[in-house]
Amino acid sequence: MDAAIQQKIDQWLNGNYEQSVKDEIKKLQTENPDELADAFYKNLEFGTGGLRGIMGIGTNRMNKYTIGMATQGYANYLKQCFGEAKVAIAHDSRNNSRFFAETTANVFAANGIKVYLFEELRPTPELSFVIRYLGCQGGVVCTASHNPKEYNGYKAYWNDGSQLVPPHDKNVISEVEKIASVDDVKWSGGESNITLIGKDIDEAYMEMVKGLSVYPDVCAAQSDLKIVYTPIHGSGITLVPEVLKRFGFNSVHIVEEQAVPDGNFPTVVYPNPEERDAMNMGLAKAKAIDADILMGTDPDADRVAIGVKNDKGEWVLLNGNQTAMIAFNYMIEARKAKGIAQPNDMVIKTIVTTQMIDAIAKANNVACYSVLTGFKWIAEKIRELEGKENYIIGGEESFGLMIGDKIRDKDGVSAVALCCEMAAYEKSKGKSLYDKLIELYLQYGFYKEALVNVVKKGMNGAREIAEMMEGFRANPPKTIDGKPVQQLLDYELQTGKNLETGESWTIDLPKSNVLQFLLADGTSISARPSGTEPKIKFYFSVNTKLSGIDGFDAAEKELNDKIERIIEEMKLK
């Protein structure tokens, strides 16, 4: 065993840790020393979004002690900034999420901080809402979003309801790193500072979501819209059915096998609505009852997936870019048609989200801003432009939408409601959401996106990912798929460069380890190491003109083939 790892293990064996923890360490020493080494070889990093990792004993795992130390550091920073502070805490359906939420609440409370703790599981977006609604200075939600069942996480929020951004993210990290031992943590003694919250906040949140509707009259007229919904064993079941009812929809069919919250996610491998396997039960039910639309949310109900029938009557799942593009277009078009559009309306997307949104916004004279990946950057742009421009919708390719400015994180609950309203609106005109998708492709061009994840696990994974990025940074390709690479955008160095002319410029966004290659034919390729998982993500966007619906299949094959050629050329498979 490495000496540094052994030292950490000895600290746990000799420190103020529960006997059951020490017994587990001793058992692993005998039965699985490699797993023990992985559990202690580093400290689970409190990153700019908080913590996320596999649950278990050790410094590199999600457990009572890593969460308690993180909370102590965050509590210290809140008190530095505000003196007296209030926080809200929520959790999803994952194993140990309630225990982690209660541990977090106890540490905050022991530090003299007023805590509003949800009485049971709730969607993450409601946590963002309640921070603003109750005037809290911060908040925490215990969730690992769509990760496998072995994972859990801890997302930290600031007083505007968004996740931490500079300078607070780095400052909190600094305070967390100062907590050298579990003995530095105030574990108990402030229980009177904890208040349980629930139904009253639900009511306020659902009324806010209902207020986002642009065409409540259309929803009422299409009240029999046949909706299938799956929460994939997560927290969406607590609010989504009731929100759909309040929108006027009375034909909502829940996927019963996935309706009960369960951190073991027994019907899926990954509880991620981006994965077709997670939506298969929903697809089967939608087909069986001939539904109009299928909706799914992830365990903490901040991501949303849509299933619709195509022109051949086959059920297909829209990707995150298609969902975002249709939603952005709806909010822009519907507000115009309803006469509520403002001349200073604006929308926000991320740099790896389809550029088709830029084209739609430009055609409608609506400002469109591109920010770094993550809804905290969308929230920061709203803050920056508050009082000057009117935010209506934001989103990113990873199945996230944020409608209206009453919350500052992605919201699968309001996204389900909006998507069903969009389907009702199209049905009122004798069309489907798929028909609308093709209509937009004909109008703005056929944009096709794809994502490839290159996974690098274990102690060597981070080094291998860093080497891949440095290789692309130091030796960018001159051509890809036979087309010249015109621009290299390096968000870590905050510079853009025209590789043909040598011209360079400054990128006015915070530093982020992202590289983008822009080709002469409008293709873009982005490389971004994940901030929460041991992988590097490659985003591909290609486009072509679509002259008619008859040419859709051929155009799609052409674009898919192009993406496959690029993936092969870049040796990503």
pLDDT digits (tens, 9 = 90+) for 373-389: 999 999 999 999 999 99
Statement: 205-213+223-444 belongs to CATH 3.40.120.10? yes
pLDDT tens, per residue, the chain with 573 residues: 799 999 999 999 999 999 999 999 999 999 999 999 999 999 998 887 899 999 999 999 999 999 999 999 999 999 999 999 999 999 999 999 999 999 999 999 999 999 999 999 999 999 999 999 999 999 999 999 989 999 999 999 999 999 999 999 999 999 999 999 999 999 999 999 999 999 999 999 999 999 999 999 999 999 999 999 999 999 999 999 999 999 999 999 999 999 999 999 999 999 999 999 999 999 999 999 999 999 999 999 999 999 999 999 999 999 999 999 999 999 999 999 999 999 999 999 999 999 999 999 999 999 999 999 999 999 999 999 999 999 999 999 999 999 999 999 999 999 999 999 999 999 999 999 999 999 999 999 999 999 999 988 776 788 888 888 999 998 899 999 999 999 999 999 999 999 989 999 999 999 999 999 999 999 999 999 886 667 899 999 999 999 888 899 999 999 999 999 999 999 887
User: CB neighbours of 307 closer than 8 A, spacing ≥ 6?
Assistant: 228, 279, 282, 283, 286, 293, 294, 295, 296, 315, 316, 317, 318
CATH assignment of 448-569?
Answer: 3.30.310
Element (H, E) at 60: none
Q: What are the structure tokens assigned to 337, written together?
A: 């048609």
Q: Positive or negative, the Cα torsion across 528, 533, 534, 540?
A: negative
Predicted pLDDT of residue 1: 77
Predicted pLDDT of residue 32: 95
- Strand order of the β-sheet with 315-317 is 252-254, 227-230, 293-297, 304-309, 315-317
Statement: 42-197 belongs to CATH 3.40.120.10? yes
- Mean of all residue pLDDT scores within the chain: 95
Q: What are the structure tokens assigned to 449, written together?
A: 């996106």
- In Å, how far are 222, 231, 315 from 249, measured between CA atoms? 7, 17, 21
Give dist(CA 489, CA 500) in Å, integer: 13
Give dist(CA 212, CA 209) in Å, integer: 5
pLDDT digits (tens, 9 = 90+) for 550-565: 899 999 999 999 999 9
Predicted pLDDT of residue 530: 80
Could you tell me the residue ranges of all domains in the chain? 42-197, 205-213+223-444, 448-569
Q: How big is the CA angle at 95 (ends 75 and 125), to the nearest 5 degrees?
A: 60
Q: Identify the DSSP state of 318.
A: -
Q: What is the three-class DSSP state of 161?
A: coil
What is the pTM assigned to this prediction?
0.94
Q: What are the structure tokens assigned to 473, written together?
A: 């940074």
Which residues are known catalytic residues?
Answer: 145
> Nearest CA to 34 among 333, 323, 458, 317?
458
pLDDT digits (tens, 9 = 90+) for 10-40: 999 999 999 999 999 999 999 999 999 999 9
Helix 412-428 and helix 199-210, axial crossing angle in degrees, nearest 10: 40
- In Å, how far are 276, 331, 423 from 211, measured between CA atoms? 32, 13, 18
Give dist(CA 329, CA 311) in Å, integer: 21
Q: How big is the CA angle at 38 (ends 33 and 39), to the nearest 5 degrees?
A: 95
Yes or no: say if 545 and 443 are a contact pair by the CB < 8 Å rule: no
| Cα 224 → chain centroid | 31
Assign residue 571 a region (left: φ > 0; alpha: ψ between -120 and 50; beta: otherwise).
Answer: left
Would the CATH topology of 42-197 be identical to that of 448-569?
no
Predicted pLDDT of residue 459: 65
The residue type found at 65 is: Y
